[in-house]
Amino acid sequence: MLYLNNPAGVDSQDRRAFLDAVGQINQDKFDEVRDPEIETRISQYEMAYRMQTSVPELKDLSDEPDYIFDMYGPDAKKPGTFAYNCILARRMAERGVPFQQTVSSRMGSTRQSS
Q: Which mean pLDDT values do the consecutive 10-residue runs of the chain (114 residues) have?
A: 76 90 96 96 90 84 95 93 92 90 63 54
Tell me the CB-side half-sphere exposure of residue 114, using CA atoms within 13 A.
0
The pLDDT of residue 109 is 47
Residue (of 83, 88, 20, 9) closest to 54 by Cα position: 88
Which positions ≥6 away from 72 have C-beta within 8 Å?
83, 84, 86, 87
The pLDDT of residue 3 is 64
